[in-house]
């Protein structure tokens, strides 16, 4: 059925459409990367504190926070190829990123508050393996990255356990720092909430289990890559729309008042 609208109705419909888009925050700054892999329930928080559903292919900006639910994971890949893969029940913020290939400069800073994660340096790590180019802040201290691949987990109490499989890092605490990785005293480090450090030869069972679980989730996400459909929804606080597969507001119903002026109202799917 074809619906015809008068010029007044068309203008009113356009105004309503523009108003609906005005509630969506416009990110500031350049795009620093993209979501290249996602599985399950992953929620994001943008620069203005608004929540959104994280989907594969979505642009990422400095200040975005990613939260993974149960049996979920997400991979954030920066413009230089640096990746941060966050396992289930995790939380990470992409604080800032810069990259200039012509000048061989740049850096990536993130904050991981909980959960297991894997970090792999991209082009930033090739500038100089002896120079710290990125940092990952944790409840127990800061990981200074130098051309590195890291596997780590953060317990609910804030204890950090990490393994450096390539390159090296400096773990910085209020009491000092300790080097871990190739050429250092060991490749595995455990840091308690109070900053106490313990270097180990082999990763503990807890870290191995977290990484095994992350690997399983990644494989599941990769097997779903054939589905190229994307969905981006913002929480409008109206629970009546939660069962709608499209996440929309329903159709627009346009009527006229007694003076012939258009009256536009959304119809909520039942």
pLDDT at 17 over 80: no
Segment holding 210, helix H or strand E: helix 205-223
pLDDT higher than 90, residue 184: no
- Structure confidence by residue, pLDDT tens digits, 112-163: 999 999 999 999 988 766 678 999 999 999 999 988 999 999 999 999 999 9
Fold for 31-235, please state it.
Answer: Jelly Rolls (2.60.120)
The yes-or-no verdict on residue 243 having pLDDT over 60 is no
Q: The dihedral of CA 159, 163, 166, 167: what is its sign?
A: positive
**According to the model, what pLDDT value does residue 131 have?**
78
Burial class of 270 by CB neighbour count within 10 A (0 to 12, 13 to 18, 19+): exposed
Residue 27, pLDDT score:
81
| Nearby residues of 102 by Cβ (< 8 Å), 6 or more positions away | none
Give the whole-number percent of the chain exceeding pLDDT 90: 60
Distances in Å between the alpha carbon of 73 and those of 35, 42, 77, 112? 11, 7, 13, 14
In the chain, where are the structural domains located? 31-235
pTM of the model: 0.74
């Amino acid at each position: 059925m074809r619906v015809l609208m008068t010029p007044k109705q068309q203008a009113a419909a356009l105004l309503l459409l523009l108003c609906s888009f005005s509630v969506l925050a416009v990110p500031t700054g350049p795009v620093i990367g993209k979501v290249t892999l996602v599985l399950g329930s992953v929620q994001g928080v943008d620069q203005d504190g608004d929540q959104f559903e994280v989907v594969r292919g979505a642009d990422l900006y400095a200040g975005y926070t990613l939260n993974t639910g149960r049996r979920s994971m997400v991979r954030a890949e920066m413009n230089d190829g640096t990746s941060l893969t966050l396992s289930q029940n995790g939380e990470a913020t992409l604080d800032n990123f810069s990259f200039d290939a012509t000048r061989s400069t740049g850096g990536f800073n993130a904050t991981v508050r909980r959960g297991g994660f894997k970090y792999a340096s991209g082009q930033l790590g090739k500038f100089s393996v002896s120079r710290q180019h990125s940092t990952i802040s944790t409840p127990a201290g800061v990981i200074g990255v130098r051309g590195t691949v890291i596997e780590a987990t953060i317990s609910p109490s804030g204890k950090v356990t990490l393994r450096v499989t390539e390159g090296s890092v400096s773990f910085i605490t209020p009491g000092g720092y300790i080097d871990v990785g190739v050429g250092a005293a060991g490749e595995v480090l455990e840091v308690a909430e109070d900053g106490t450090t313990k270097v180990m030869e082999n990763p503990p069972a807890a870290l191995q289990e977290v990484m095994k679980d992350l690997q399983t989730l990644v494989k599941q996400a990769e097997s779903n890559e054939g589905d190229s459909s994307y969905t981006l929804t913002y929480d409008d606080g109206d629970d009546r729309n939660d069962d709608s597969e499209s996440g929309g507001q329903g159709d627009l119903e346009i009527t006229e008042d007694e003076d012939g002026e258009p009256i536009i109202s959304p119809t909520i799917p039942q």
